[in-house]
Amino acid sequence: MQQQTNNLVSSNALYSKIILLVFVLMCAVKRSNSFDYFKEKPSFMKSCKLSQPDLTKCSTEAIQKIVKEVMKGVPEFRDVIGSLDPLVLNDIAFKQDGAEAVNILIGLSTLIIKDMSRVQVVESRVHRNDLSFLLKLHMPQLRLTGHYKLDGRILLLSLKTEGEMAIDLGKF
């Protein structure tokens, strides 16, 4: 049971980071002039007040609505970042440069992430004291395909490989 809970926590953390990445991309990719848009609040954005007693319910519904609309494609962002489902990322690099024991470089290219539009916001809890929030998401399925290249070393084990990858994450 503890292992299952740990997997759930790490999965939730992963998906929270993915959603955060999507929103950052919306604002940053290709030096977007997206701030020229939305001078007025879009109709799909629901307002919640910190003082209302059902803030968690309101916030959860509001975030789900935003996610749904963004995944469908907001016209003002479509020209800047293209489709979000599937999300296509050309080049991503991860580097773990340890002092002695671990040195790894992983490169991903032509990464295609499918089924992000199926994300469900389970809960969005806003903490009134510091305005931080906890976002619980459920992703019924996520599929990643692309090309990988791995080069590195763990202790005395040399790692050097590349190829096509397909990762299916589902039912968690």
Total residues found in the chain within this entry: 172
Check residue 155 and give its pLDDT.
87
Same domain assignment for residues 19 and 66 = no
Same domain assignment for residues 14 and 40 = no
Token pair listed for 99 = 């002092």
Per-residue pLDDT of 11-51, as tens digits, reads 445 555 555 555 555 544 444 455 555 677 777 788 888 89
Q: How far is C-alpha 5 from the geometric centre of its chain's CA atoms?
A: 20
Closest CA to 146 of 111, 114, 115: 111
Closest CA to 146 of 105, 95, 91: 91
Tokens 């907001």 found at: 74
Same domain assignment for residues 101 and 138 = yes
Same domain assignment for residues 21 and 36 = no
Per-residue pLDDT of 62-121, as tens digits, reads 989 888 888 877 776 666 666 678 888 889 898 887 767 889 999 999 999 898 888 899
Question: Is the predicted pLDDT of residue 162 greater than 70, yes or no?
Answer: yes
| CATH for 142 | 3.15.10.30
**Is the separation of the CB atoms in 137 and 121 below 8 Å?**
yes
Give me the sign of the Cα torsion angle 143, 15, 124, 171: positive
Domain encompassing residue 111: 31-170
